[in-house]
Every structure is written in C-alpha cells, then in structure tokens.
Amino acid sequence: MEYLIIALGAALAGFVQGLSGFAFGMVAMSLWAWTLEPRMAAVLTVFGSLTGQLIAAVRVRRGFDVAALAPFIAGGLAGIPLGMLLLPYLDMASFKTAIGAFLVLWCPAMLMARRLPPLRWGGRSGDAGAGLIGGVMSAIGGFSGTVPTLWCTLRGYQKDRQRAIIQNFNLTILAVTMAVYLIAGNVTVEMLPRFAVVAPAMLIPTLIGAKVYHRIDEARFRAIVLTLLTVSGVMMLASGLPTVLGRIG
C-alpha cells in the first residue's frame, strides 16, 4: 500500500509539474504526508521534483536568461543552508499552516482580480528575496518553486519567461538541495527502492503535462498557476492545521 501511494503521488505530481513547472512537492506531499515519515517524504519530494525538472528541461525549453535568473539563484543558494539550519528546530505543522493560509487567502484574490496591474517595485532585490525563501523551503521539504512562482505572477511575467525562470531556478536549487541531503546523510539505503518507484511513475504524466503546457494561452496559464497555488495552500492547511488545533484544544 505504501508503494502504491508513492506511485500515485508521483504520477499526479509529475503531471502538475510538467504542466506548470512547479508544485511537485505540494501535490505529492498531500498524499505522502499521511503515510510516510516526514524526513522520507521530504527526500522523496526533492528527488521527484528534481527528476521532473530534468524531464521538463528536455521537453519544455524556454531559454536561459542569465540576467533575469541570477538574483533568484543567488538568493536560493543562500537560502538552502539557512533552511538546513532551521530544519531541526522547525515546527512543521505551524509552518505548513502559515504558508497554506497565505496561499489560500492571497491567490484566489489575485485570480478574481485579473486586471490588477503587475508589481513595478522590488526589482532584482525582490527576485533575490523570492529566491531566498524558495531555497529555505527547498531544504525544508522540496517546496522550492512556490514563492518564486507567486512572485513572478505578481510581476506579470509572460508564461514563457516565467517558465524559463522557474524551471531553471528549480533545477538548480533542487540539485544543490539533493547534494546537501546526500552530504548530510538524509538519504538512506532504505529510500532507494522508493526512488525506483517515483522515477518511472512520474515519467509519462510529466511528459503529458509538458505537452498540455504548449497548448494553453497566457490567461489560462496564469489561472492554472494561481489555482494550483491555491490548491497547494489547501493541501498544506489540511496537513498542518489539525495538529495545530489539536495543541490548542
């Protein structure tokens, strides 16, 4: 049953990542969090996200703008060690509840207010800040793309530019996160059979998602991204809020 749930989570998350360029961790964790212990779920999420990015990099090529990408990468690389330092002390339930509540409140508001002008402030420092949070969240559980994707959406980037930034950012930050996990001993021998389930389970769904990406326009892509961010927030709330409320009660 555990391997079936791992395969189902990987397949569903692979399709979503192939379509949107992010959100593997959020989707997969919504299933895996109920059956896998947190450290194993985090490692599998990083592995699956990285595998999906490698597949998408071949199927969905949208350029490599070094100037646009550099601040995101710089912030993300700084955020990974910070996330590793925070991880032993972090209350995961409170973290998921806070992030989930923000996404659930903010993203539907943006979805309904489609004519809102894009943000003109922040610039490269804002890009670096979004990358920093993405790096921290990558180390915590493979959620590297959530905040950078939201930031790019707020900035009003066209879908191909946003895809190029997020895809290359995720690929870089997740590769470094996986290397850090290996060095820190977070990856164990017992996880290897589960890696062998995740990779093939997500292959075809990721390719299908990438194919769908090519067929959607700007408005629909923005709506899909904001909807996925909202769903991600709901999943995080569902995972973290019961624990938080249980403590209060």
What is the Cα–Cα distance from 245 to 239, expressed in whole angstroms?
11
pTM of the model: 0.81
| pLDDT, mean over the chain | 84
Residue 95: which pLDDT band, with cuts at 50, 70 and 90? confident
List Cα–Cα distances, 139 to 90, 134, 176, 208, in angstroms: 12, 9, 9, 28
More confident residue, 52 or 115: 52
Taking only the tens place, the pLDDT of each residue in 13-27 is: 888 888 877 778 877
Average pLDDT over residues 8-16: 89
pLDDT of residue 172: 93
Q: Which residues of 90-117 are buried (b: 16+ CB within 10 A; e: fewer)?
A: eebbebbbebbebbbebbeebbeeeeee
83 pLDDT more than 60:
yes
Chain-centroid distance of CA 184 in Å reads: 22
* Model pLDDT for residues 107-151, shown as the tens digit of each residue: 787 777 666 677 777 888 999 999 999 999 899 888 888 889 888
More reliable by pLDDT, 248 or 46: 46
Q: Is the pLDDT of residue 208 over 80?
A: yes
153-170 pLDDT, tens digit per residue, is 888 888 888 888 888 899
pLDDT band (50, 70, 90) for residue 183: very high
Asked if pLDDT for residue 94 goes beyond 70, the answer is: yes
**Euclidean distance between CA atoms 88 and 96, whole angstroms:** 15
Which of 135, 200, 120 is closest to 173 using CA atoms? 135
What is the percent of the chain with per-residue pLDDT over 90, rounded to a whole number? 28
Whether pLDDT at 62 is above 70: no
Averaged pLDDT for residues 19-44: 79
pLDDT band at 178 (very low <50, low <70, confident <90, very high): very high
CB atoms within 10 A of CB 70: 14
Answer whether residue 242 shows pLDDT above 70: yes
